Amino acid sequence: MSGVWGKQIEYSIFGESHGEALGIVISGLPVGIKLDLDFIRKEMKRRAPGSSDLVTPRKEEDAFEILSGYFEEHTTGAPLCAIIRNKNTRSSDYNNLRYAMRPGHADYSGRVKYKGFNDFRGSGHFSGRITAPLVFAGAIAKQILASKGIKIVSHVLSIHNIKDTAFDLANFEESLVKKLSSLAFPVIDESIAEDMKQAIRTAKDNKNSVGGVVECAILNMPAGIGDPFFDSIESTLAHLLFSVPAVKGVEFGKGFEISSLTGIEANDPYAIVDGEIRTTSNNNGGIIGGISNGMPIVFKCAIKPTASIGLEQDTIDIVNMKNTKLTVEGRHDPCIVPRVLPVIEAAAAIGILDSYLTSNK
């Protein structure tokens, strides 16, 4: 499985949803980085299940254990290995998945690729639970970026057809960053939050699910980071973001909307503001030619509705090769969006750190 990524820092992720533990090995971390473990715990808690009636009732603390590469509060230079033990599993909920292929899941494609030997319980290595070690690694990357003044913030832009106010692409107030970082359900327009939550509860009551959009910004990014073509910032971020289960679309700046603009509308004019080079708009999302231009890097991720739903669906019996019906058992999120925010931020942090270190070798 392609569970290894990175150039300057290499990340190797492992584990299955109902296995003994999940984990990650991080090789190449700079020596002597002081890690704030409380910050990492806070990030893990943002993603952890069982936190409210809006998410899966599966209770997992997502407590991490660092096995190597960390000593007396600092990185040692050795590969840093951390695990997160699975504790609250109900594998019997997945017995019927030996033959019934769930719509929207990787049951069929995974079975074909791994010849039926893959662990199907809780989706195994395909599960969104595998994002827990990703958030751990992202929390470390965030701390390194923060030491360079780079911040990452996100919010729920939409749930189903209910939309929040979008970021002002060119201007970010510090007060907004602090506000979003403090909210359990981060939205810019707090008056819309309850409508979003109710849409999730309604889907849950109907044994259904809904999706949404996450908008994320990388702030204080210096100009000149990234490489054209294969290692552009867009390429690097998209590679990681599409690795997150449930992400089905990524767009930067105005994204697809930019295609309906004229050149004079789409271009971002340069200006000297308080002695610094800026652009007066940010339709291109802080990236030109695959390289940062000093403006906020802003992107959106489309998150599909959770594939596991309680409604009866058409599927196939892969063993007996016949059509059948399936009602998915188990504990599942009616909407993954609230828990995916720290995952999106983690992927962004990992990607941006790699680009930053590559450009500053």
123 labelled binding-site residue: no
307 labelled binding-site residue: yes
The string of pLDDT tens digits covering residues 230-262 is: 999 999 999 999 999 999 999 999 999 999 999
125 labelled binding-site residue: yes
331 labelled binding-site residue: yes
Buried b (16+ CB within 10 A) or exposed e, 31-45: eebebeeeebbebbe
Q: Compute the distance between CA of residue 61 and CA of residue 50 in angstroms, rounded to an integer.
A: 9
pLDDT of residue 122: 63
Parallel, antiparallel, or unpaired: how do β-strands 247-252 and 10-15 relate? unpaired
Q: How far is CA 204 from CA 108, 157, 194, 323, 327, in A?
A: 26, 20, 15, 27, 15
165 labelled binding-site residue: no
pTM, entire model: 0.94
Which candidate, 358, 265, 337, 318, places its Cα nearest to that of 116? 318
Parallel, antiparallel, or unpaired: how do β-strands 162-163 and 151-159 relate? antiparallel
Could you state, in order of their start, the residue ranges of all structural domains in the chain?
Answer: 4-359
243 labelled binding-site residue: no
Question: CATH homologous superfamily of domain 4-359?
Answer: Chorismate synthase AroC (3.60.150.10)
pLDDT of residue 100: 86
pLDDT of residue 59: 64
Q: Compute the distance between CA of residue 200 and CA of residue 209 in angstroms, rounded to an integer.
A: 7
304 labelled binding-site residue: yes
Indicate the DSSP class of residue 158: E
Q: Compute the distance between CA of residue 219 and CA of residue 238 in angstroms, rounded to an integer.
A: 18
334 labelled binding-site residue: no
Q: Reduced to 3 states, what is the DSSP secondary structure of residue 243? A: coil
More confident call, 120 vs 183: 183
The string of pLDDT tens digits covering residues 191-202 is: 999 999 999 999
121 labelled binding-site residue: no
148 labelled binding-site residue: no
Looking at residue 142, its amino acid is K
The string of pLDDT tens digits covering residues 145-182 is: 999 999 999 999 999 999 999 999 999 999 999 999 99
Q: At residue 93, does pLDDT exceed 80?
A: no
238 labelled binding-site residue: no
